[in-house]
Amino acid sequence: MPITEILSRNAELYGQEKCLTEINMDLQESHNVTWREYELIENSSAGEYRREMSWGVFDEKANRLANLLLKRGIKKGDKVAILLMNCLEWLPIYFGILKTGAVAVPLNFRYTPEEIKYCLDLSEAIALIFGPEFIGRVETIYDQIPRVKMLLFSGENRPSFAENYDRLTANCSSEAPHIKLTDEDDAAVYFSSGTTGFPKAILHPHRSLMSACYAEMEHHGQKREDNFLCIPPLYHTGAKMHWFGSLLSGSKAVLLRGAKPEWILKAVSEEKITIVWLLVPWAQDILDSIQRGDIKLEDYELSQWRLMHIGAQPVPASLIRRWKEYFPDHLYDTNYGLSESTGPGCVHLGTENIHKVGAIGIPGYNWEAKIVDDGGNPVTQGQVGELAVKGPGVMKCYYNDPEATAAAIKDGWLFTGDMARMDEDGFIYLVDRKKDVIISGGENLYPVQIEDFLRAHNAIKDVAVIGLPDKRLGEIAAAIIELKQGCECTEEEIVAFCAPMPRYKRPRRIIFDRVPRNPTGKIEKPRLREKYGATSLVAVQTER
**At residue 38, does pLDDT exceed 60?**
no
**At residue 536, does pLDDT exceed 60?**
no
Partners of 464 in the beta sheet? 480
Q: How far apart are CA 111 and CA 143, in angstroms?
A: 18
- Strand order of the β-sheet with 227-230 is 39-43, 48-54, 18-24, 252-257, 227-230, 275-278, 307-311, 331-338, 343-348, 362-363
Secondary structure class of 511 (helix, strand, coil):
strand
Range from 7-16, 139-148, 433-442 carrying the lowest mean pLDDT = 433-442
pLDDT grade, residue 30 (50/70/90)? Answer: very low
Q: How far apart are CA 130 and CA 145, in angstroms?
A: 15
pLDDT grade, residue 110 (50/70/90)? Answer: confident
Helix (H), strand (E) at residue 99: helix 90-99
Percent of the chain, pLDDT > 90?
70
CA dihedral 503, 505, 509, 513 (to 10 degrees): -140
Q: What is the DSSP string of 175-195?
A: SPP-----TTSEEEEEE---T
Question: For residue 284, with 0-12 CB atoms within 10 Å meaning exposed, 13-18 middle and 19 or more buried, which class applies?
Answer: buried
State the pLDDT at residue 532: 86
Residues with Cβ within 8 Å of 352's Cβ and at least 6 positions away in sequence, in order, are none
Secondary structure class of 311 (helix, strand, coil):
strand
Structural contact between residues 450 and 477, judged by C-beta atoms closer than 8 angstroms = yes
Burial annotation 393-412 (CB, 10 A radius, 16+ → b, else e): bbbbbbbebeeebeebbeee
Partners of 361 in the beta sheet? 428
Closest CA to 467 of 502, 511, 436: 436
**At residue 37, does pLDDT exceed 60?**
no
Amino acid at 269: S
User: What's the mean pLDDT in 361-380?
Assistant: 95
Structural contact between residues 412 and 370, judged by C-beta atoms closer than 8 angstroms = no
H runs (alpha helix) in 250-314: 261-271, 280-292
Closest CA to 403 of 123, 200, 207, 193: 200
Closest CA to 477 of 507, 451, 450, 453: 507
Residue-wise pLDDT for 373-423, tens only, equals 989 999 999 998 999 999 999 999 999 999 999 999 999 999 998 889 999
Partners of 386 in the beta sheet? 372, 419
What is the CATH code of the structural domain delimited by 437-532? Answer: 3.30.300.30
How open is the CA angle 171-177-181, to the nearest 5 degrees? Answer: 145
Range from 41-55, 170-184, 530-544 carrying the lowest mean pLDDT = 530-544
4-172+183-228 is a CATH 3.30.420.130 domain: no
Q: Count how many Cα atoms sit within 13 Å of the Cα of residue 144 in the half-sphere of its side chain.
A: 14
Secondary structure class of 18 (helix, strand, coil):
strand
Judged by phi (left if over 0) then psi (alpha if -120 to 50, else beta), residue 21 lies in beta
Closest CA to 9 of 249, 253, 252, 255: 249
Average pLDDT, the chain: 89
Q: How far apart are CA 15 and CA 134, in angstroms?
A: 33
CATH code 3.40.50.12780 region(s) in the chain: 4-172+183-228
Greatest mean pLDDT among 37-46, 169-178, 465-474: 169-178
pLDDT grade, residue 330 (50/70/90)? Answer: very high
Residue-wise pLDDT for 51-102, tens only, equals 999 999 999 999 999 999 999 999 999 999 999 999 999 999 999 999 999 9
Structural contact between residues 100 and 76, judged by C-beta atoms closer than 8 angstroms = yes
**At residue 267, does pLDDT exceed 70?**
yes
State the pLDDT at residue 48: 53
Strands 48-54 and 18-24: antiparallel
CATH code 3.30.300.30 region(s) in the chain: 437-532
CA dihedral 158, 160, 161, 167 (to 10 degrees): 40
Indicate the pTM of the whole model. 0.83
Strands 385-390 and 409-410: unpaired
H runs (alpha helix) in 124-260: 135-141, 165-170, 206-220, 237-249
Closest CA to 337 of 488, 514, 522, 157: 522
**At residue 39, does pLDDT exceed 60?**
no
Q: How far apart are CA 388 and CA 411, in angstroms?
A: 11
User: DSSP E strands: which ranges in 395-492?
Assistant: 397-398, 409-410, 413-422, 428-433, 438-440, 443-445, 460-470, 474-483
Secondary structure class of 204 (helix, strand, coil):
strand
Helix (H), strand (E) at residue 91: helix 90-99
Question: For residue 530, with 0-12 CB atoms within 10 Å meaning exposed, 13-18 middle and 19 or more buried, which class applies?
Answer: exposed
pLDDT grade, residue 20 (50/70/90)? Answer: very high
pLDDT grade, residue 520 (50/70/90)? Answer: low
Burial annotation 73-105 (CB, 10 A radius, 16+ → b, else e): ebeeebbbbbbbbbbbbbbbbbbbbbbbbbbbb
Farthest-apart Cα atoms in the chain, separation: 70
State the pLDDT at residue 49: 80
State the pLDDT at residue 474: 72
**At residue 163, does pLDDT exceed 60?**
yes
Number of H helices, E strands in the chain: 15, 28
Q: In the 8-state DSSP scheme, what is residue 162? A: S
